[in-house]
Structure 1
Amino acid sequence: MGLEFRLLGPFEVRDDDRPVPINGVKPRQLLASLLLHPDRPVSVDRLIEVLWPIDPPRSAAANIQTYISGLRTCLGDDHVVRYPPGYAVVIGPADLDVASFLRETDEAIRLRRLGYLADAQRTLESALARWRGSPLADLPPSPLWQVELDQLTERRLAALSELLDLRIRLGDPDRAVAELRGLTAEHPLREGLWALLIRALVAAGRRADALTVYAEVRHTLAEELGVGPGPELQRLHNDLLAADATPIASHPVGQQLPADAAIVLRGLAAFGDATVPAWFAGALLEDGEEQMDRLVSARLAVDAGVDALGQRRYRVPVLVRMLADAQSGDWPQPDEAGLVRVLGGLLSLAEDAGHALPHSPFGPGQSVAPRWKPPMTEVDDPVAWFVTEQDILLTAIEVAGRLNRPDFAWELALATVPWCDLAGHPEVWETGHQTALAICRRLDDQLGVAVTLRGLGQLHLYRDEYAQADAAFGRARLLFAQLGQPAGVAAALSGLGAVHRVRGELDLAVDYYSRALEAFVECAEPSGEAYARGAIGQVWLARGNLDRAQEWLESALNLAEVIGDRHRTAHLRQALGSVARREGREQDARGLLDQALAGFTTIGDIHGEAYALVELGRLEQTPAEAADRLTRALHIYQRLGDRRAEADTAERLGQLHGAAGQRELAAAYLDEARRLRAQL
């Protein structure tokens, strides 16, 4: 078999299938760096950055020479050569698994183009068998390897996609489904893998499961990227809907549908192509579940299977909805009271889910729309409930508008805020609030206008759109004051204080926060009072008055602990940790920040987690530990779109790497910080 270099998994060198010992982590890192660029030079400077990313020793270049000498002893002088400005590995007759993998995948593509599908499948299976795990899985990662490793991962995914497509075409969809389930879980934003899974399910005769998968990917893309499915997925979805539909206009059931069944059908059709939970039928009509069975038997509704919450779900095919619209004069309309029960049920469940999440003190302080409790329906996992029902909630706001019920529109939008804020779903937050705002303005519901403006102001603040945030908070404050709503006034004043604090206008910030505190006390909202006290403490911290900051923050923390507000407690411990760090009390600071980080992690607040990581990064003893904390925080800020915090963290990382002599990394981070600040 000869000499083999294996990078596609734990790093191995073998000779005639016997391991060649390469002792020491750094010699193995060095050889791996050379093998990622076979037959090409890798500079000594680059090798030093791989082996010592932080604080390279003065003897680094000499150490490299020592490691090269050891590699020549193991592999021979013909394989490891001096190649100015560095060194290279000459592969020669040896086998490099990366090169063999790439060669075989290219051959498989050629065979497929010639129509030899079975041969192409066997070749791809051989190529993919070379993968034993993540490339270089047993070596410390290096940012300088990332481009090459990302390219290899992309090629592997492309080869897997090609192989699974061939399995579907060659009559083995069930095996493809099993593998694609794992791949879509591992790569949830790869639309091509989802499309393959839907095709495999259709080929296996599982159309209902294929529709469920489409709903899942639509939720995932909206949640993570704020976009809908692309053209290929939309085409597959339309094909499924067309295949589902029957020529019901001439179907005797369509012509002679009982009145009760027609009421349930039109009520479900009001929610468009979304799948709805089974309890909707019982809300629409007392014997709705019986009518639902009749509709499914007549193929006027589709059983969409069981969702992630264990609920049975249904949907009305597109052609059935068209028929229902065409026969609107002949079929009875759904009772408005039934649709109101559906909206009240969604609102009740959304509030149950929201109560299990960190409390927001920024509501109007009152409920308006009637609630209805769906029977035998509990929210055991609030995050999973919102993920599953986010589309239905947004559609329900539109239905509320069609019913001229602005109270449901703004309360449903507001009910999503705890989840959107905690898990980072600005697209759901914005869509719901903008839709509700338009409905409230059309129907002159001033309380709803104030609530939705306050919510949109918070989104503008998160996006560093300070002028828009200021305008939204200011208008909401005026409306709340006109309506005599002290809780709403306090919420709007809190937003105005935050705008001015971020802008550095600290006198205005503390004035608004103080007024908010008075309003929260007036309406007996202790969570809001804890927020306002903590916010005033943050202003004193920004001013550098650590004694006053400590005083306000401790009073806020005491109140938050008394009322059991874990989320506010974590925020306040983080702020107090910052005070302790600035005063040089490092042990106290680390204890408070560790508690804050644990609190954010338990709650699931990744934004707060990032802030705590940044503060802990300032306390780390070594640059490497600090860089690790800051890098984790940077990834969170990037995901959430917090450009100001992302810029500050990138700048700090640039400074750290610059001090460690990592010029390329330092320059990249500092350039990124400048680019982000230019956007702001």
Structure 2
Amino acid sequence: MIVAPAPRTTFGLLGPLRVRAGGVDVPVPGAKRRMVLAHLLLHANRVVSADELTATLWADDPPRTARDNLYTYLSGLRHCLPPGPEPARISTTPHGYQLHVADDELDAAVFATLLRQAAAHRHAGRWRPALDLLDEALRLWRGAPLADLPARPAWSAPLGRLTELRLDAREQHAVAHVRLGEHGAGIGELRELATDHPFRESLWLHLMTALAAAGRRADALAAYRQARDLLVGELGVEPGAALVEAHRAILAGSDHLAPAPAGAATPDAPDAAQPVPVSATTPAAAAPSPATAPAAADPPSGVPEPPVAVPHQLPAYPADFVGRQVELDRLDALLRPDPAGPPTVACLVGMAGVGKTALAARAGSRVTDRFPDGQLYAQLHGSTDRPRGAGQVLGELLRALGVPRPQLPRRTAERAAQYRSLLAGRRVLVVLDDAAGVDQIEPLLPATGTAAVLVTCRRTVTTLPGAHLLSVPALTPDDARTLLARIVPDGRIEHDPAAAGRITRACGYLPLAVRLAGARLAAHPHQSVAQFAALLAPGPGRLDQLHADGRSVREALLPSLRRLPDDAVLAVTRWGLFASETQPDWVVRSLFDLPRSDRALDALVEANLLRPVADPVAGELRYRLPELLHCHATEAAGQLPPDERRGVAGRVSAGWLARAEDATTALPHCVFLPRPGTADRSAPGAPTPPRTAPLAWFDQRLGALVDAVDVAAAADLHEPAWELAVALTPYFDHSNRYDEWRRSHRSALAAARRAGNRHGEAALLRGLGQILLYQDRYGEARELLLRSYQLSRELGDVRGAAVAASGLGSVERLAVPRGNATRWFRRSLEGFVALGDENAQAQVHNNLGMINRDRGRYDQAHDRFQQALQTARRLGDRHREANVLREIGALNLTVRRPTAALRQLTAAVEIFDQLGDTHCAGYAIQTMGRVLLTTGDERRAHRSLGRALGVFRRLGDRSGEATAMEGLAEVYAAQRRSRDAASSREKALELRRQITGDTEATRLPHR
């Protein structure tokens, strides 16, 4: 018997992820499952640990169920992937998982093989077969590698290598055309490549060579000019030696212009024939000693040069110094004598109180053995109103070096010359503390590399030639807590680490603030850590607590503010209106008078009072105001005139409203959105939110968005306040952000009621009622939703009335099993039909299906569910599709079709996981547990119900928690664990009593 060969399987990384068998695509459903496959393919035939896969899927925030989810994805992959070269396509080892792929099954491996074969032909001068192989290799590419999957840090290196190989292959392909005399094809490819990669000099070299070989010398020279203009204009560098030499040869009309080697990097190193400078090979130990150093210029007035003293002026670093290992290691590497070069200058820059002086003293103490000729220290008072002049400081340094006061030159230039002469060839460390800027530093720099300079400065000094800038951040939370414990050594910090953490967090982890807080605690031995932490809670007065022994955080911050332009200080004050310390660039600019924002913003950044923050989601620039400076700004903002507050609040809320509504369109359809109001939606300079990651966009800006609602409401801008609050509702609902949902809606509701804005009031009451519904507070929910329904009817707002009626139907269904839910849902459906809103109609059909199922009308329930499912699928509403699948699964559980139920519930969970909706996934997993129990699979049933229980407890969903506890009681009973079963039943019953307030509570229908 002849057995037909198995269809050939191929895996594709060179474009969107693809699996094919026998030339037909093999579906791999689920984004997470595809990500697991992609990671295994990038490490094909190697073992990948579970931790590595977990980190790839969830980065730094894996859910508690990460391992269970990972097992589910791997199991799904094993079922859908075609068989491979090993008995199991994916094998499990003690150390992880291994995907077995044959050499010819993975397009990236085939691509690499073809490139090696082409290179062999190219090096042998066989250009035609090399070109054919490169053609075949490049045809494998279908786009950017893994273009359909979200970027992951672990993939950057392997995908970067593939992209670089592709570029090399395209370059070799073009050169092969040129070598074969096919100049037109080669020149066209090279021009396209040079346009896409303008700073890759080898492309310009090949293009010039090809144009010259084609007899187009003028075009070759023009290509050189274009390349040089780009390199000089954009990078500030001249072309490399190879480009320059080719240019000269073309100018000279050489007939022997050799083609550049394909794929070779342009040589940029100096000619190897050039002599190596002697200084570069002189060992440090052979540097001139002070006794043999070159003679200095004649000292002023013909006075003999005095003997040089050996000063040791470094201040002591604090005995309780902690942390800073990264900065210390960097300074250790920098602060070394270099007789062959200029002096090393390292600048520690950072805001007031961040510990620059302590760090400089500690770093200097670690390298004193490298500077046996002395260590000089000068306090420059650059952050005060009267920074010291260079002449005064030079006089102080010269005296430390042994120059008697009467012999000090009078002029600053002469003092600087004598200072440089005395330090020439000597191994001295100079520490310049609290510099004002470059003008104050430059006269104090030595002339030779045997000396090194360490500067501290609040401003970022970017124009000091050759300086190494080290930004000094606040302490890490652990280091800040260690510092506090060293200042308060009586054990109170160790006894209450949580309160200690609140103190250091309130101090912004700023060393000065932590020291002052510690001093206050140490001075009050009977005060608990928790009591002092309460004094530092957010709100006015925090800065008043951070003072001791005549020092305070407030006084440390004020000099930096006094040196700023007035409009920069005003912007900081306006920032105090907002509770968020991090804001995007466009919000920060709205705090300024726009024509002057660039100058003032630069001044704040240079003063280290604003720190740029990377935004990996949208790629927009954001800024962070240090926490304690934000406290000061909050106090100062209370003095702003009302009109100014309204102006700032209006600009910011308009921008956020436009962006939030834009981002919401990429979320699953939400019926809670009302008829729009009249608020401004302009957003100058605000980038459009990404369509591919709306949840991440909201997550990163949540504090600022809710903050903007509060500020608009406080300024009595009722219309933008309620519109922005309601615009956030789809995100709140999808991400279970009930606290922020409630806060924003209550704040906006107060403003709407003060203004008599009934449209806004109705919309906000709907949102607040929905929160109460989710948290099983049915009586309160009914009250708010009924008021919203009545207001909407009075205003003629069909949408608002339909949404409120739907909420009232849910209240009736959950709280009163035989109540008027059907009537309310039908009213809701009438409104949505009149509006032509099919998404909302699907939701109401789903709700009506649940009522029919709960009342035993299974055929009618099935019809409603199918109607909702078909509509959701036709509209591409995956969230609604998953909700309906969950309810159909519950229906199949009720009518005892467990296989169908599990199939539908599994599909629902997968969609919810992809969309990041843990709450709805929890309900589906809970129902899955009940189905598994009916099949006798008690172990998996226990695991599913336990997962669901964790979700409900985390979200405060008492009804879901009670239902999960009841399911666990059934599992325990089946396992003959009667004590556990009784305990679970009692806990569920108590939850039911809490929900209904009825001591005779019975089991409520599940949602």
Contact 1:302 1:314 in 2 (8 A): yes
Alignment partner, residue 6 of structure 2: none
Alignment partner, residue 500 of structure 1: 812
Give the unaligned 5+ runs of structure 2: 1-318, 327-473, 482-496, 515-529, 996-1007
1:318 and 2:631 correspond:
yes
1:476 and 1:170 mapped to 2: Cα distance?
60
Larger radius of gyration: 2
1:370 and 1:236 mapped to 2: Cα distance?
35
Q: Once the 2 structures are TM-superposed, how far is the Cα of residue 657 of structure 1 from its aligned partner?
A: 0.7
1:171 and 2:322 correspond:
yes
Alignment partner, residue 57 of structure 2: none
Deviations 1:148-200, CA, capped at 9 Å, x for gaps:
xxxxxxxxxxxxxxxxxxxx95734548978959x9xxxxxx94695598599
Q: Once the 2 structures are TM-superposed, how far is the Cα of residue 314 of structure 1 from its aligned partner?
A: 3.7
1:419 and 2:739 correspond:
no
- Equivalent positions of 1:8-157 (< 5 A) are none
Q: Once the 2 structures are TM-superposed, how far is the Cα of residue 660 of structure 1 from its aligned partner?
A: 1.2
Deviations 1:642-679, CA, capped at 9 Å, x for gaps:
11121121122112212312233223322211221221
Contact 1:536 1:552 in 2 (8 A): yes
2:613 and 2:553 mapped to 1: Cα distance?
14
- Equivalent positions of 1:68-467 (< 5 A) are 171-172=322-323, 174=325, 191=498, 202=509, 232=533, 235=536, 238=542, 245-246=554-555, 253=562, 258=566, 260-261=567-568, 264-272=571-579, 274-284=581-591, 285-287=593-595, 288-295=597-604, 302-303=610-611, 305-306=613-614, 311-315=621-625, 317-323=630-636, 325-326=638-639, 328=640, 334=644, 336-337=646-647, 339-375=649-685, 377-380=687-690, 381-467=693-779
1:677 and 2:989 correspond:
no
Q: Once the 2 structures are TM-superposed, how far is the Cα of residue 323 of structure 1 from its aligned partner?
A: 4.5
Fraction of identical pairs, as percent: 29
- Equivalent positions of 1:603-642 (< 5 A) are 603-620=915-932, 621=935, 622-642=937-957
- Equivalent positions of 1:557-576 (< 5 A) are 557-576=869-888
Contact 1:177 1:200 in 2 (8 A): no
1:506 and 1:556 mapped to 2: Cα distance?
23
Alignment partner, residue 511 of structure 1: 823
Paired residue for 1:538, among 850, 859, 863? 850
Q: Once the 2 structures are TM-superposed, how far is the Cα of residue 320 of structure 1 from its aligned partner?
A: 4.5
Deviations 1:197-237, CA, capped at 9 Å, x for gaps:
85999477999xxxxxxxxxxxxxxxxxxxxx996497498
Q: Once the 2 structures are TM-superposed, how far is the Cα of residue 511 of structure 1 from its aligned partner?
A: 0.8
1:230 and 1:570 mapped to 2: Cα distance?
49
Contact 1:263 1:334 in 2 (8 A): no
2:589 and 2:321 mapped to 1: Cα distance?
45
Alignment partner, residue 905 of structure 2: 593
Contact 2:500 2:533 in 1 (8 A): no
Supply the AA of the counterpart residue of 2:652.
V
Q: Once the 2 structures are TM-superposed, how far is the Cα of residue 342 of structure 1 from its aligned partner?
A: 1.3
Contact 1:266 1:333 in 2 (8 A): no
Supply the AA of the counterpart residue of 1:494.
S
Alignment partner, residue 224 of structure 1: none
Give 3-state SS (helix, strand or coil) of 2:820's partner. Answer: helix
Q: Once the 2 structures are TM-superposed, how far is the Cα of residue 298 of structure 1 from its aligned partner?
A: 6.4
Compare 269-278 and 408-417 and name the one that shifted more: 269-278
Q: Once the 2 structures are TM-superposed, how far is the Cα of residue 337 of structure 1 from its aligned partner?
A: 4.9
**Residues 641 and 323 of structure 1, relative CA distance in 2, 3 Å threshold:** closer
Contact 2:653 2:721 in 1 (8 A): no
Deviations 1:227-267, CA, capped at 9 Å, x for gaps:
xx99649749846988664478788948x954x54653443
Deviations 1:600-623, CA, capped at 9 Å, x for gaps:
111111111111112212222321
2:557 and 2:532 mapped to 1: Cα distance?
28
Deviations 1:69-112, CA, capped at 9 Å, x for gaps:
xxxxxxxxxxxxxxxxxxxxxxxxxxxxxxxxxxxxxxxxxxxx
Contact 2:792 2:798 in 1 (8 A): yes
1:549 and 1:643 mapped to 2: Cα distance?
26
1:272 and 1:638 mapped to 2: Cα distance?
29
Q: Once the 2 structures are TM-superposed, how far is the Cα of residue 336 of structure 1 from its aligned partner?
A: 4.9
Q: Once the 2 structures are TM-superposed, how far is the Cα of residue 584 of structure 1 from its aligned partner?
A: 3.0
**Residues 553 and 270 of structure 1, relative CA distance in 2, 3 Å threshold:** same
1:470 and 2:782 correspond:
yes
Q: Once the 2 structures are TM-superposed, how far is the Cα of residue 421 of structure 1 from its aligned partner?
A: 1.7
Q: Once the 2 structures are TM-superposed, how far is the Cα of residue 333 of structure 1 from its aligned partner?
A: 6.3
Q: Once the 2 structures are TM-superposed, how far is the Cα of residue 486 of structure 1 from its aligned partner?
A: 0.6
Give 3-state SS (helix, strand or coil) of 1:658's partner. Answer: helix
TM-score with structure 2 length normalisation? 0.44
Specify which structure has the higher proportion of helix.
1
Contact 1:180 1:196 in 2 (8 A): no
2:503 and 2:781 mapped to 1: Cα distance?
43
Supply the AA of the counterpart residue of 1:456.
L
2:922 and 2:532 mapped to 1: Cα distance?
35
Contact 2:581 2:630 in 1 (8 A): no
Contact 1:173 1:200 in 2 (8 A): no
1:431 and 1:640 mapped to 2: Cα distance?
16
Name the Cα RMSD after superposition.
3.7
Contact 1:261 1:291 in 2 (8 A): yes
Give 3-state SS (helix, strand or coil) of 2:623's partner. Answer: strand
Contact 1:644 1:676 in 2 (8 A): yes
Q: Once the 2 structures are TM-superposed, how far is the Cα of residue 377 of structure 1 from its aligned partner?
A: 2.4
Give 3-state SS (helix, strand or coil) of 1:657's partner. Answer: helix
**Residues 481 and 174 of structure 1, relative CA distance in 2, 3 Å threshold:** farther
Alignment partner, residue 799 of structure 2: 487
**Residues 539 and 192 of structure 1, relative CA distance in 2, 3 Å threshold:** same
Supply the AA of the counterpart residue of 2:594.
E
Paired residue for 2:968, among 631, 653, 658? 653
Contact 1:283 1:339 in 2 (8 A): no
**Residues 626 and 193 of structure 1, relative CA distance in 2, 3 Å threshold:** farther
1:171 and 1:462 mapped to 2: Cα distance?
48
Deviations 1:553-602, CA, capped at 9 Å, x for gaps:
10111111111111111000111122223233333222211111111111
Contact 1:264 1:334 in 2 (8 A): no
Give 3-state SS (helix, strand or coil) of 1:317's partner. Answer: helix
**Residues 232 and 335 of structure 1, relative CA distance in 2, 3 Å threshold:** closer
1:644 and 2:959 correspond:
yes
